[in-house]
Amino acid sequence: MAVTRHGGRRWPGSLRSLIIAGFLLALTPPLAALGWAAYTLNSLVAEVDAGLETAVAAARYGRGLVADVTELQRSARHWNVLQSDTLLDTYRERRKRVDETLGQLRALALDPERVQRLERLAAALPVGDGPPVGDDDVLTAQLAPLVAQAVDVLELSDDAVEGESARLREVTAEANRRFASLAALGLIAGSGCALLAGGLIARPTRQLAQAIRRLGDEDFTTPVSLAGPRDIQLIGARLDWLRSRLGEIDAQKQRFLRHVSHELKTPLTALREGSELLRDGTLGPLAEDQREVAGILVDNARRLSTLIEDLLNFNRLLARTQQLEAGTVALAALVEEVAGAQRLAAQARCVTLELDVPEGLIVQADHDKLRTILDNLLSNALKFARRDGRIALRAGRYPGGVAVEVEDDGPGIPAEERERVFELFFQGSHQPDTPVRGSGLGLALAREFARLHGGDLIVADGRGSGACLCLTLPATAPP
């Protein structure tokens, strides 16, 4: 597995290698616990198996010893009655088998008590090549204790078998406990290793997500450097190249907008001022239709100027160069000023402006930016209000600051578009019946200015079926 270095840390050569290494790391503790459990279980089973085998063999030889001693006693009695060579040979064969069984028992690893009883039995056996001589009572007195001693040896062996069986059960229970403990330990250790491996795998991807998020937020100044395997570092290098290119493109866009705005605003100013002179009759009296055309020129020139200012303002917001110049603003006077600028457009559509702003309502805000917000809200409402309809502009205090609502009686905003209307250049499904479509900049700029003040702009539930936009401003402007 190839290994790379980054920031003093050794990383696998690729993300796949890192995942495999993490998998093996997480798998090692459970496998180690399983191996150790198998080893200890095999050791215990082998030990008990050896003891049980010895006990079973001792019991088997003990039963043979009892049978051999019993046959030895019977052979001695028969020989004492018949005194034949065949019975003597039978006795000698039984005695030989008793000696062999004793030897087999001595060869086993018996406990001291059974060894002692075996030696006592061996010492009590008749001495010599033939059976003891005497009547039945004499033989019974000499040979009957041998059978009792053999039975004692057998009983001890049977007890040993029972003891080994009990020990086997204890060992099995102990093995189960050890296996459960080792399994739990292996699971805990494996989980810890899995978390460690997951952290190692997630760290490069988390850094990658952060880098992409910064690029999405138009942060083109922070270099992109990803720690991790070689392929992740390569992605980081390509993202850093992309960051540089996006920074250059953004700078070019800024220069282009500044240049275009300057080139547009100069002739536009002349066009607007000339149109105003014509409309006001400064250059001579105009007929009614000529004055109407001059008014249209003035309105559209003003609207074009506003669009250019909106575009520049939003571009400054994206570039993070907009700053507040907060001061004391009399809201009622500002609303009258904005409504006055929109009054001609309202009269053209026969729309009634209903203003409900208490006198003495003061806010701490940037006058120009707040005027832009209100102007955009009112002009947006004028586009969608019904002909011969109305627009209500209400303002008042609430516990956290000041709220301004602008509500029209148009088609309203669908629920699925309530957030999208604040997206840049978004055109909703309901379009105004005016010949000029909106640019999609006004509400986006208004919300950004509201948030720059520490407030917000949302689509609220109005009192009618039209759209209701609510501007909230804090009691004091942010520093």
Crossing angle of helices 367-384/442-452, nearest 10°? 150
* Residue where the block lists tokens 């700053």: 323
- Give 474's contacts (C-beta < 8 A, 6+ positions apart): 400, 401, 453, 454, 455
Question: What is the pLDDT at residue 360?
Answer: 84
Nearest alpha-carbon partner for 325 in 372, 368, 373, 272 = 368
390 exposure class (CB count in 10 Å sphere: 0-12, 13-18, 19+) = middle
Question: How many CB atoms neighbour CB 157 within 10 A?
Answer: 25
Query: What are 105-125's pLDDT values in tens digits?
Result: 777 766 777 777 767 776 667
Other beta carbons less than 10 A from residue 245's beta carbon: 11
What pLDDT is recorded for position 280? 75
Share of residues in the chain with pLDDT > 90 (%): 7
Cβ of 132: how many Cβ atoms within 10 Å?
A: 15
pLDDT at residue 1 greater than cutoff 50: no
Query: Regarding predicted confidence, which is higher, 358 or 298?
Result: 358
pLDDT (average), residues 389-412: 89
Mean of the pLDDT values across residues 40-65? Answer: 71
Lowest mean pLDDT among 36-45, 90-99, 243-252: 36-45
Q: What pLDDT band is residue 374 in, cutting at 50, 70 and 90?
A: very high
Q: Do the beta carbons of residue 365 and residue 477 sit within 8 Å?
A: yes
Tokens describing residue 457? 């702009």
Classify burial at 154, counting beta carbons within 10 Å of its beta carbon; exposed 0-12, middle 13-18, buried 19 or more.
buried
SS3 state at 132: coil
Q: Please give the pLDDT value at position 313.
A: 66
pLDDT given for residue 472 in this prediction: 92
Integer Cα distance of 469 and 413 in angstroms: 10
Q: What is the pLDDT of residue 3?
A: 44
Instruction: Give 363-398 as a DSSP string.
Output: EEEEHHHHHHHHHHHHHHHHHHSPTT-EEEEEEEEE
CA separation, residue 107 to residues 56, 115, 124 (Å): 14, 10, 20
pLDDT (0 to 100) of residue 9:
53
- 32's CB contacts (< 8 A; 6+ apart) are 186
Cβ(18)–Cβ(233) below 8 Å: no
Which residue would you say has higher pLDDT here, 149 or 442? 442
Of these ranges, 16-25, 188-197, 282-291, 429-438, the one predicted with the greatest mean pLDDT is 282-291
Q: If we measure between CA atoms, which residue out of 147, 135, 141 comes closest to residue 80? A: 135
Q: In the structure, what pLDDT confidence band is assigned to residue 2 with cuts at 50, 70 and 90?
A: very low
Per the model's pLDDT, the better-predicted residue between 418 and 54 turns out to be 418
Residue 261: pLDDT band with limits 50, 70, 90:
low
The DSSP code for 416 is G
Contacts of 458 (CB under 8 A, 6+ apart): 418, 469, 470, 472
Task: Look at residue 153 and tell me whether its pLDDT is greater than 50.
Answer: yes
Mean pLDDT confidence for 371-392: 89
Average pLDDT, the chain: 75
The pLDDT value given to residue 13: 54
For residues 121 and 143, is the Cβ–Cβ distance under 8 A? no
Q: What does each C-alpha distance from 302 to 264, 295, 414 come to in angstroms?
A: 13, 11, 30
DSSP per residue, 244-300: HHHHHHHHHHHHHHHHHHHHHHHHHHHHHHHHHHHHHTTTS---HHHHHHHHHHHHH
Question: What is the distance between the alpha carbons of residues 240 and 235, in angstroms, rounded to a whole number?
Answer: 9
55 has pLDDT over 60: yes
Residue 204 token pair: 């490069």
- For the chain, the straight-line distance linking the first and the last C-alpha, in angstroms and rounded, comes to 55
Encoded tokens for 240: 């850093």
Does the pTM surpass 0.85? The reply is no
Pairing between β-strand 3-6 and β-strand 456-460 as defined by DSSP bridges: unpaired
Three-class secondary structure of residue 326 per DSSP: strand
Q: What percent of the chain has pLDDT over 70?
A: 66
* pLDDT above 60 for 435: no
**Angle, in degrees to the nearest 10, between helices 136-216 and 230-280:** 30
Q: What are the start-end ranges of the H helices in 83-135?
A: 85-107, 112-124
Say if residues 189 and 33 touch (Cβ distance below 8 Å): yes
Whether pLDDT at 5 is above 70? no
Tokens of 31: 């496998």
Cβ atoms of 468 and 421 within 8 Å: the answer is no
Sign of CA dihedral 24, 30, 36, 37: negative
